């Protein structure tokens, strides 16, 4: 038996590796963990988010190329602000980075989405929140390639499932990211894990109170708002165990979810 970043690691004949977590992560605040919110921007002046947004950039098309400029445009859709607020509530000391690829109404160009994800990977942000996706098949391959790059770079990508009964990319790429769907649970630490399903994790996403541009709040429902709950939990895990790989993080989430479902189970 060996110890890796505070975990006891046991290898069985099946070569499966299980982790026995301590509870230090539950007392963490996300300090030192960088989180990219690839979305509609963030209202940096909202009282719930004051001082927590490290930087904000926005996609711009320049001669058929997409580049990112520093931006103070905020959030015209509210979606990114809501997601950032959920992360900040769970991991108040996490470093939030806004990558704006959506405009008013939460609509955006698929190429801008790809560029925003690539930007986050190149910056090697620890965790990348993707509460957005696409059903267009032409984006299957480029998204798959980007997620492989993210995995190899050590970036942990968390994606929301489609709210409609159709598969969306990249949430279906469960081997190279962490995919999330909403539940009616209210405790952010009491999430579930359904191993073997396309969308493996469930987290609070029904009637969630979130910040909204202009200083207000809204109660929102959707898989988009389950995703940042898991991102916040991962920020806590990475503060407590900063050397975890994406594979180890998923294993840790599985271990925690198993304990949630079977209190007192040490296996």
Q: What is the pLDDT of residues 180-217, one digit of tens each?
A: 999 999 999 999 998 888 899 999 999 999 999 999 99
Separation of alpha carbons 36 and 207, rounded Å: 24
Give percent of the chain with pLDDT exceeding 90. 74
Kindly list the catalytic residues. Answer: 39, 79, 224
Asked whether residue 69 is assigned to any structural domain, the reply reads yes
The pLDDT assigned to 2 comes to: 33
Asked whether residue 43 is assigned to any structural domain, the reply reads yes
Domain that holds residue 143: 29-246
Domain harbouring 87, CATH code: 3.40.50.200
Asked whether residue 12 is assigned to any structural domain, the reply reads no
Longest Cα–Cα distance in the chain: 59
Q: What's the pLDDT tens digit per position in 104-119?
A: 888 888 899 999 999 9
Separation of alpha carbons 236 and 164, rounded Å: 30
Asked whether residue 50 is assigned to any structural domain, the reply reads yes
Asked whether residue 2 is assigned to any structural domain, the reply reads no
SS3 of residue 150 by DSSP:
helix
Average pLDDT for residues 142-163, to the nearest whole number?
95
Q: How many domains does the chain have?
A: 1
Give percent of the chain with pLDDT exceeding 70. 91
Average pLDDT for residues 145-168, to the nearest whole number?
93
| 3 state SS for 158-218 | EEECCCCCCCCECCCCCCCCEEEEEECCCCCCCCEECCCCCCCEEEECCCEEEEECCCEEE
Question: Please, what is the average pLDDT of the chain?
Answer: 89
Whether the predicted model's global pTM rises above the 0.85 cut: yes
């Amino acid at each position: 038996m060996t110890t890796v970043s505070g975990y006891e690691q046991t290898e069985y004949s099946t070569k499966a590796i299980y982790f026995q977590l301590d509870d230090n992560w539950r007392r963490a605040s996300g300090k030192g963990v960088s989180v990219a919110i690839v979305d509609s921007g963030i209202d940096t002046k909202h009282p719930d988010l004051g001082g927590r947004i490290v930087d904000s950039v926005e996609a711009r098309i320049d001669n058929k190329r997409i580049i990112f400029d520093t931006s103070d445009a905020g959030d015209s859709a509210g979606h990114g602000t809501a997601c950032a607020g959920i992360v900040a509530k769970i991991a108040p000391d996490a470093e939030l980075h806004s990558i704006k690829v959506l405009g008013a109404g939460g609509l955006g160009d698929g190429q801008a989405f790809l560029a925003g994800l690539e930007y986050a990977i190149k910056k090697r942000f620890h965790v990348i929140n993707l509460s957005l996706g696409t059903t267009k098949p032409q984006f299957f391959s480029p998204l798959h390639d980007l997620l492989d790059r993210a995995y190899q770079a050590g970036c942990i990508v968390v994606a929301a499932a489609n709210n409609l009964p159709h598969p969306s990319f990249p949430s279906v790429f469960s081997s190279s990211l962490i995919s999330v769907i909403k539940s009616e649970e209210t405790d952010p630490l009491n999430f579930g894990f359904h191993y073997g399903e396309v969308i493996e994790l469930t987290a609070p996403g029904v009637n969630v109170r979130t910040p909204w541009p202009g200083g207000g709040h809204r109660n929102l429902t959707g898989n988009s708002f389950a995703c940042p709950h898991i991102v916040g939990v991962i920020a806590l895990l990475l503060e407590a165990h900063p050397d975890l790989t994406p594979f180890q993080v998923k294993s840790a989430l599985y271990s925690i979810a198993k304990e949630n479902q079977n209190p007192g189970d040490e296996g």
